[in-house]
Chains A and B, each alone.
Chain A
Amino acid sequence: MFRLLTYREGKKMSKQQQHWEKTRTLLFITLAIWFVFSIGIFFFGAEMEASSIRPLGYPLSYYMTCQGSLGIFVVLIFWFANRQEKIDEEFGYTEREDD
């Protein structure tokens, strides 16, 4: 609420900028991990297929397309949500529960 009060504006903005800085860093890390498992590894489909790493016995290429990458995305989103909540908390931007 009192974020709108003008006499705090100068101090507030810098806090807000810091918050946004951290949020952006988290975004870049998240997108980097996302890029690796949604795009990066599929440049090496043939290499993955020939690889001796065989999760649960499946060929690596097959495993990543039908379970591996998908599962990593699920975990990634929850990890991202937790980190973002921590950042919001650090700067006092957490919502009231009854909002």
Chain B
Amino acid sequence: MFKGKFIDNLPKIYGTYTGGFLVFIILMAIAEQAGMSAKLIGIFFVAFTVLIYALIGYLSRTMQTDAYYVAGRQVPTVFNGMATAADWMSGASFVAMAGGIYFKGYGYMALLVGWTGGYVLVASLLAPYLRKFGCYTVPDFIGTRYGGNLARLSAVIVLTVASFTYVTAQINATGTIASVALDIPFNIAVYVGLASILMCSMLGGMRAVTWTQVAQYIVLIIAYLLPVFWISNKMGAGVFPHLMLADEVARIAELEAQFGLGEVKNSAADLKQVPKGLAGITKAHSEVNTTPWKFISLAICMMAGTASLPHVMMRYFTTPSVKAARRSVGWSLFFIFLLYSSAPMLATLSKLSLMDPNLATGIIGKSITEVQAIDWYQNWNQANLMFVSDFNGNGTLELNEFFMGGKAVVLATPEIAGLPYVISGLVAAGGMAAAMSTADGLVLAISNALSHDIYYKMINPKAETAKRLIVARVLLVLIGFAGATIAALEIQGILGSVIWAFDFAMSGLFFPLVLGVWWKRANAQGAVAGMLLGLISGTAYLIAVRNGYPGFWGVTQLTFGIIGSLVSLVSMVVVSLLTKAPDAATQRMVDEVRVPSGKTILGKQH
């Protein structure tokens, strides 16, 4: 069926895969009509997709370093774009983003702008140059460009802090979905999630992660777009929601006024009854509800963080050429755009179907007892994701008496809008794909940095290939377990830790990476100062703010990267200028990096 080389057959292989997945959805829909239980459908969806990823992971096993670290540098532009999109869009993007927009409106959408705008920085400032460098990991670039183990080690520290913060959130998300879909307790589900993550990456490293991420992108994008289009059509809001929801957005503003949004405040005693983690609508849907600086500072942190997160950057090491790396960034953003531009549409549809009394699904304004008798309300109330209470005792559900968890917007909306359960199963599989793909990228980024940069480059430079790859795999498993153990403790919410990861990465790595290419005078001392002081000052500010320090310049615990990266920039420039300029060989190396043609700085196998 597939003659010739694997790479040449990619469109055919993934075309067949997509077709097969659609057939699977149809089969499940038929099974649902035939009376298969909702629970069983959920299990089938999650188990089937996870097994496919594991199979791809097994088929991509390898014992070569360049295949393990950079997928043999032969991933075509468009496919690398898909893999990056899956790598990028985490459980937070898939499960939490539409919910955030639902509750916080315009102010929250700073994240949409930040998480896409950052790719302009990636394409123009970094990705093509790091590809030309030919490094295996981000610290590999720092270590070779600046020279010295201290620079390399500092980069590994920043990478580990940022990526580890991020990965606990992703393992947490896989655990949440696995526990709901497979109906097992969360602290066991976390390890089930971990096992699925490791199956994808352990045998084949970057090569396996690449091909599973492409498969995961296909699942997650179908799972996100299908319900949005379906609900929109069902509601009569328009066949193409992205272009046709203006009336619905206006209608929500009308209803918000009618239901007195923001006029009635809940008393503290009333709010105590609301289960933890649930929220009511307190911010208008489309109004500009935040100060410009608050919006902009959050966007800046997310953009600079995007350009500094190693698990994203290392995806561009896998393309066949510098040109392909550059174009691939465009494709990545295109594939991300498909989901991100749909999240606000989903939030709009979800809110309208709950609020509009003219729709059969609307619940605001109905009697409380009637709402409490609805099937889906009971299900999601039991899952601790929905809550109503008659605070004012008038027997009617008011806007301020309805509470929902952020995850429920994506997970529950299909059911609320009256779509068949097969769609809910699909959404669970999509969420699992999103969280797994990101977790895989992150775990691999950390373990590769430890195995390549610490073990091979610093501890045992004479290690043979086989030994290096065994160390890499052992570290992969250890880091996965550490992440899962912390995730099981449930210290922080998914979204909070994701935003922190961006701030950490930005504090320590943004300027050392950018100036490494764009400022020849930057030297090792400057870079080390920039990375360490940036990370330390950012972290110190975060800790201070969390302990009651009011902060300055309006920088909050979500935007502490602004402080960290400024300290990093200043210390890097000052220390570089105070110490000796880099030697002629390093300067020539930077010149080489700036030219796309010719050999990479580091060899194919190193």
A interface residues with partner B (beta carbon < 8 Å): 1, 3, 16, 19-20, 23, 27, 30-31, 34, 37-39, 42-46, 48-49, 54, 56-59, 61-62, 65-67, 69-71, 73-74, 76-78, 80-81, 84-85, 88, 92-97, 99
- Let me know if A62 and B334 touch, CB within 8 A: no
Contact B106 A69 (CB under 8 A): no
B: residues with CB less than 8 A from A are: 106, 109-110, 112-114, 116-117, 119-121, 123-125, 128, 242-247, 249-250, 286-288, 290, 292, 295-296, 299-300, 303, 320-323, 326-327, 329-330, 333-334, 337, 340-341, 343-345, 591, 594-598
- Asked if A61 contacts B296 (CB within 8 A), the reply is no
Q: A62-B286, A65-B112, A77-B119 are in contact. Are A95 and B299 (CB under 8 A)?
A: no
A48 contact set on B, CB distance < 8 A: 288
Indicate if the CB atoms of A38 and B303 lie closer than 8 Å. yes
**How would you classify the secondary structure of chain A's contact residues: helix, strand, loop or mixed?**
helix
User: Which of A57, A62, A74, A81 is within 8 Å of B327, CB to CB?
Assistant: A81
Q: Is B300's CB under 8 angstroms from A39's CB?
A: yes
B287 surroundings in chain A (CB, below 8 A)? 49
Closest 4 CB pairs of A and B: A57-B246, A38-B117, A65-B109, A66-B344
Query: Are B341 and A67 in contact, with the CB atoms below 8 A?
Result: yes
7 additional contacts (CB under 8 A) given A45-B292, A65-B112? A19-B594, A38-B299, A42-B296, A69-B117, A80-B120, A84-B128, A93-B597
Contacts A67-B242, A77-B330 hold; do A43 and B292 have CB atoms under 8 A apart?
yes
B345 closest partner in A (C-beta): A66
Asked if B246 and A84 sit within 8 Å, CB to CB, the answer is no
Q: A34 contacts which of B121, B320, B340 (Cβ < 8 Å)?
A: B121
Number of A-B contacts (CB under 8 A): 147
Among A57, A67, A77, A94, point to the contact of B247 (Cβ < 8 A): A57
From residue A98, how far is it (CB to closest CB) to chain B in Å? 8
The answer, among B242, B326, B329, B595, for a CB contact under 8 Å with A93, is B595
Residues of B within 8 A of A96 (CB): 597
Assuming the contacts A54-B246, A58-B246, asked whether A94 and B124 have C-beta atoms less than 8 A apart, the reply is no
Contact of A46 among B247, B288, B594, B598 (CB under 8 A): B288
Quick one: closest A residue to B243, CB to CB?
A56
- Whole-angstrom distance between the alpha carbons of A84 and B394 in the complex? 66
A55 to chain B, nearest CB (A): 9
Chain B residues near A76 (CB, 8 Å)? 120
- Closest beta carbon of chain B to A67's beta carbon, Å: 5
Whether A62 touches B597, Cβ cut-off 8 Å, given contacts A16-B591, A70-B113, is no
- Asked whether B340 lies within 8 Å of A88 as measured between CB atoms, the reply is no
Contact, CB under 8 Å: A73 / B333 = yes
| 29 residue pairs A–B, Cβ–Cβ below 8 Å | A20-B594, A27-B124, A38-B114, A38-B117, A38-B299, A43-B292, A49-B287, A56-B243, A57-B250, A62-B249, A65-B109, A65-B110, A67-B242, A69-B116, A69-B117, A70-B112, A71-B337, A73-B120, A74-B116, A74-B330, A76-B120, A78-B327, A81-B323, A81-B326, A81-B327, A85-B323, A93-B596, A95-B596, A95-B597
Q: Which residues of B contact A99 (CB under 8 A)?
A: 320-321, 597
Q: Which secondary structure dominates chain B's binding surface? A: helix
| Whole-angstrom CA separation of A65 from B244 in the bound complex | 16
Bound-state CA distance A1–B128 (Å) is: 19
B341 touches A62 (CB 8 A): no
With A34-B117, A65-B112, A69-B116 as given contacts, are A81 and B330 in contact (CB-CB < 8 Å)?
A: yes
CB distance from A34 to the nearest CB of B (A): 4
- Select from chain A the residue with minimum beta-carbon distance to B132: A95
Q: Cα distance A62–B246 when bound, in Å?
A: 10
- Complex partner residue of B286 from A59, A74, A78, A85, CB under 8 angstroms: A59
Chain A residues near B320 (CB, 8 Å)? 99
- Give the distance in Å from the alpha carbon of A99 to the alpha carbon of B595 in the complex: 14
Query: Are B596 and A94 in contact, with the CB atoms below 8 A?
Result: yes
B341 near A70: Cβ-Cβ < 8 Å: yes
CA distance A62 to B114 in the complex (A): 15
Contact A23 B594 (CB under 8 A): yes
Taking a contact as CB atoms closer than 8 A, the residue among B243, B244, B292 that contacts A42 in the complex is B292
- Taking CB as reference atom, which chain B residue is nearest A44? B292
- Nearest Cβ distance between residue B473 and chain A, in whole angstroms? 30
Residue of B243, B290, B330 touching A78 (CB-CB under 8 A)? B330
B101 to A: closest C-beta gap in Å: 8
Chain B residues whose CB sits within 8 angstroms of the CB of A45 once the complex forms: 106, 288, 290, 292, 295
> Is A95 touching B323 in the complex (CB atoms < 8 A)?
yes
Residues A77 and B120 in contact in the complex (CB < 8 Å), given A59-B249, A67-B341, A70-B337: yes
**Residue in chain B with minimal CB distance to A30:** B124
**Bound Cα distance A43, B300 (Å):** 13
In the bound complex, do residue A62 and residue B120 qualify as a contact, i.e. CB atoms below 8 Å apart?
no
Given contacts A49-B288, A69-B113, are A30 and B120 in contact (CB under 8 A)?
A: yes
